[in-house]
Chains A and B, each alone.
Chain A
Amino acid sequence: MIELRDVTKTFPQGKGEGGGLRAVDHVSLHVPRGSVYGIVGHSGAGKSTLLRLINHLEEPTSGSVLVGGADLGALGERGRRQVRQSIGMVFQQFNLFRSRTVLGNVAYPLKVAGASRAEARERAAEVLRFVGLDGHARRYPEQLSGGQRQRVGIARALATSPGVLLCDEATSALDPQTTHEVLALLERVNRELGITIVLITHEMDVVRSLCDRVAVMADGKVVESGGVYEVFSRPQHPTTEAFVRSALHDRPDGPALERLRARHGGRLVTVPVTGDAAGGHELSRLLREHAVDFTVAHAGVGEVQNRPLGSVTLELRGAEADIDAVVARLGGLEKAGAR
């Protein structure tokens, strides 16, 4: 559905010299039709820029962007505007028109697309029903709660029946309960309407509950991408690791590890927990064989795409040689202590 081929975006910096700032650096990405694709990364990693390249709000410095088969770079400004009408966009700060009612906001993109006033109103009412705001059509944005505003934002983005929805931190300004509602709505958008969604987020929960695939960005580059479970169960890049850790709180680090060491006299090992039952059997068999005892010192396990993901940190007690043997055997399976 969306194809980025070796796309780079360089912003001119200061007074000409210095080569400029490379916000997006040789990124290639494929977003399959009907998928929900998450983009995560630290602030300034280039996520928003990448998203804005997809609908050509930002022109790539090099590389090409294809949406639904159309090469946006090859189109003129007019053609690009046409394509944008079939790509919805949702923003962190909602960006609703304060001068228009809820209905007016949702009808606006339809008017841009050339619909008559009556058609626009009818379609807008229909989309408002879909997002559950049909009772609020005549209100103004400032009379709505944050969650309702974002639903208007989503309705507005859906009005022209786009094939793609781009969400730039659509839930970052919302409280957890409202975030949950908005995510449920986005899920319906994907499931019921079959719309491909690309979303930027800082929140692991968003990726966990919604995304099929994820790309991790750092310094303008996509450093890891793939299925959500695959990427998060075997993080390769520090950014990915930090992201997983912040969500699962599974691996004790720094001071937490020191405290565990003080509390537990024995050897500490961290063992990953995955959906794979064989790993668990292997561990208990090992411990039994070597007559090594254990206590759970720390644990954090969550679900990603309906599969468990996380780790337990165990304190092992027994003969030194036996523990060495267990740790040596576990070696292939895990890394001792904190990652």
Chain B
Amino acid sequence: MKADWNTFWVKVVDATGETVYMVLVTLALSAVLGMVVGLALYATRKGGVLQNRVVFAVLNALINVVRPVPFIIAIVALSPVTRSVVGTMIGTDAAVFPMVVVATFGVARIVESNLLSVEPGVVEAARAMGASPLRIVLTVLVPEALGPLILGFTFMLVALIDFSAVAGTVGGGGVGNLAMTYGYLRFDTSVMVVAVAVLVVLVQLAQLLGNLLARKVLRR
């Protein structure tokens, strides 16, 4: 039973909407959480403005444990937690949870490394002006690192589209789910092709948007 494209396109649009929803919600949540964790990492490291060996070691270890885990394993491993937090293990919201967890630590690393790449001299200049640590982070470090930060977030966004498709294959909804249930299980090549095309287009759009923004910030 192949898809009837006269009516099936509605499903494609719905699935695309779900994917976009999952990705954007995850991006928003992980951007905020990842920013906080990344700033904490930056500030508590040796020589940082709020140097704290214990906090740094814990965060650092946590990231190093979470990051190398393949996403598909993370979904399964986190599923008991997902059930207790979200209330269910299937659907888009259930998919968002592990995505946020994994993405938060990814974003944290991106934020940390980009802040570290800001020349120490500018921080020194701001300190010499009497700026407080919090002000330095918000008005010097973040603006100075904004270009590469945007590119880092773009990288994360593209990864999230990939994650959402993976989540879709294990009951998460969205384009991945469509490809799985119709394209794979029912051997419908046309659905598979369309699903892949949608993912490619989404990734291209994300990358284009990120590049444009970064170029604007970097003035080149």
Q: Do A and B interact? A: yes
Which residue numbers of A lie inside 8 Å of B, CB to CB? 55, 57, 80-85, 87-89, 91, 93, 95-100, 108-109, 112-113, 140, 142, 156, 160, 166
Binary flags per residue of B115-133, CB closer than 8 Å to A gives 1, else 0: 0000101101111111110
Counting chain B residues whose Cβ lies within 8 A of the other chain, the interface size class is 20 to 34
Q: Contacts A57-B124, A91-B121, A95-B122 hold; do A112 and B144 have CB atoms under 8 A apart?
A: no
Contact at B129–A97, with CB atoms within 8 Å?
no
Interface residue B135 (Cβ < 8 Å from any Cβ of A): yes
- Interface residues of B, dominant DSSP: helix
A and B contact pairs by CB, cutoff 8 A, 20 listed: A57-B124, A81-B130, A84-B128, A85-B130, A89-B125, A89-B128, A91-B124, A93-B119, A95-B119, A95-B124, A96-B122, A97-B122, A97-B140, A99-B143, A100-B143, A108-B129, A112-B129, A112-B131, A112-B135, A166-B128
Interface residue B146 (Cβ < 8 Å from any Cβ of A): yes
Contact at A93–B121, with CB atoms within 8 Å?
yes
Select from chain B the residue with minimum beta-carbon distance to A78.
B132
In Å, the complex CA distance between A95 and B127 comes to 12
Among A57, A96, A98, A99, contact of B128 (Cβ-Cβ < 8 Å): A57
CB contacts (< 8 Å) of B144 on chain A: these are: 97-99
Interface residue B219 (Cβ < 8 Å from any Cβ of A): yes
Contact at B127–A57, with CB atoms within 8 Å?
yes
CB contacts (< 8 Å) of B121 on chain A: these are: 91, 93, 95
CB contacts (< 8 Å) of B135 on chain A: these are: 112
Select from chain A the residue with minimum beta-carbon distance to B220.
A142
How many Å from the CB of B54 to the closest CB on chain A?
18
Contact at A81–B132, with CB atoms within 8 Å?
yes
CB contacts (< 8 Å) of A113 on chain B: these are: 130
CB contacts (< 8 Å) of A84 on chain B: these are: 127-130
Q: A88-B128, A89-B129 are in contact. List 16 more A-B contacts (CB 8 A).
A: A57-B127, A81-B130, A82-B130, A91-B121, A95-B121, A96-B122, A96-B125, A97-B140, A98-B144, A99-B143, A99-B144, A108-B126, A112-B129, A156-B125, A160-B129, A166-B128
Q: Contacts A81-B130, A84-B130, A112-B130 hold; do A95 and B125 have CB atoms under 8 A apart?
A: yes
In Å, the complex CA distance between A88 and B128 comes to 7
Chain B residues numbered 164-181 whose CB sits less than 8 Å from any CB in chain A: none
